[in-house]
Amino acid sequence: MKKALITGITGQDGSYLAELLLSKGYEVHGMIRRASTFNTRRLDHIYHDPHGNGEEVHLYLHYGDLTASDTLLDIIYNIRPDEIYHLGAQSHVRVSFDMPEFTGDVTGLGTVRILEAIRKSGVKARYYQASSSEMFGGAKPPQNEQTPFEPRSPYAAAKLYAYWLTRNYREGYSIFAVNGILFNHESPRRGETFVTRKITRAVAAIMAGQQRYLYLGNLDSRRDWGYAPEYVEAMWMMLNRDQPDDFVIGTGEAHTIREFLDEAFGYVNLDWHDYVRIDARYFRPTEVDYLLADAAKARRELGWEPRVRFRELVRIMVDADLELIGLPCPGEGKRIVEERFGQWHRWDQQVVSMDNH
Ligand code: NAP
Ligand code: GDD
């Protein structure tokens, strides 16, 4: 049985990746932070309390933090994983302007702490670095592996540091280390303060009569939005090939926030102009205007191709948020997921009994 370690397992991608690896027969270990409230709601549906009588699930959680190198070394040395997926980060771009030093510590230095733990422990683990299209910043679209980086936020600068460290450890220490340069990917499990989920949650709350207005920032930037479960498949593909290399992952289709609003509100027959207000708080000191992936290399060398397109993604997310709030949903997004992925993902149960809390 192969062993994988996931940092950031409680996040959107970490939870989908854990499901994927368990379905492939891996023993999955995840690092979680100690929090004063439960932070494992995206994992509860796959976790089985070992004290219970249910079927065994090979998912194990360990306390750790990217700011503490001693625990990272212990975790890696004790588990001796075959694959490490480093997804943990302070991942919010707007927040990185408020907390630039902290973001550099967690998102940038956190990476070198993991790479050093691999090197010092002598564990022969393959390493995946969650690099980001945000590193392209002001670079002209479409962006691919050859596009020069022009980071425009503390988050992007921290990710760029981590990107180069990953390449350096690959070249200097022969570690099988790869950068997945992923463009924005979303899902019903997306963090609530990223723009897509903020919008789809608002659509549901407005439909339920619980919210009057939705306050947003810049509506003109363009993003290449894909469906997160497909992106974690690309992560696995990158670690399961002969040679380590870096790959851009995205759909090759970009839309503005306005277009997202059109689709999300239009799906439930609302006109977003009646509900959206602009709040300058959500503007960024420097914005990334246009991200558009050229993922030809991933298509060619990994055989990776997105199946869920923009309009379908929006419908999946709106359906999920309507259900979450207890309203009936039009169901087109739900049907797409059931047909193409076998099941409507369970994603937001209330936490009850993670035994190692
Ligand atoms: P996310 O939902 O924000 O999850 C981030 C994860 O990092 C959470 O599990 C979080 O734990 C953990 N974390 C934060 N600070 C930590 C610390 N000090 N020590 C240990 N863990 C810490 O992010 P995501 O959307 O799943 O993205 C996964 C990774 O891909 C991130 O590195 C992100 O920057 C990168 N990325 C994301 C996208 C995207 O569009 N989603 C695109 C490109 C790259 P808590 O749950 O306790 O907060
Ligand atoms: N979050 C947020 N909230 N964004 C808003 C809002 C708002 O109220 N109003 C407008 N936006 C705009 C932002 O200014 C940005 O141009 C765009 O919506 C997308 O913002 P986010 O959803 O926060 O995502 P992001 O593109 O900044 O960052 C995400 O994608 C990166 C990959 O390109 C994050 O997941 C990063 O971790 C990831 O690396």
- Indicate whether 155 pLDDT > 70: yes
47 is in an annotated binding site: no
State the pLDDT at residue 307.
Answer: 96
Q: Which atom of ligand 2 is nearest to the CA of 215?
A: 8
Using one digit for the tens of pLDDT, what is the confidence trace for 279-320? Answer: 999 999 999 999 999 999 999 999 999 999 999 999 999 999
d(CA 201, CA 147): 35
Residue among 13, 90, 93, 292 whose CB has most ligand 2 atoms within 8 A, to mutate = 93
CA of 299 to the centre of ligand 1 (A): 25
Q: Are 27 and 1 in contact (CB under 8 A)?
A: yes
- Indicate whether 119 pLDDT > 80: yes
Cβ 33 under 6 angstroms from ligand 1: yes
Cβ 234 under 6 angstroms from ligand 1: no
- Asked whether the whole model's pTM tops 0.85, one would answer yes
Strand segments (E) across 139-286: 177-182, 185-186, 214-216, 222-223, 226-227, 247-249, 255-256, 276-278
Return the CATH fold of 3-190+226-253+291-308+343-352: Rossmann fold (3.40.50)
Q: Which of 31-40, 139-148, 176-185, 308-317 has the lowest mean pLDDT?
A: 31-40
First-last CA distance in the chain:
26
State the pLDDT at residue 211.
Answer: 97
Residue spans of the domains in the chain: they are 3-190+226-253+291-308+343-352
Cβ 13 under 6 angstroms from ligand 1: yes
- Return the active site residues: 132, 134, 155
Tokens standing for residue 343: 């099941």
State the pLDDT at residue 354.
Answer: 47
- Indicate whether 11 pLDDT > 90: yes
Cβ 132 under 6 angstroms from ligand 1: yes
Q: Place 351 in a pLDDT band, splitting at 50, 70 and 90.
A: very low
pLDDT above 90 covers what percent of the chain? 89
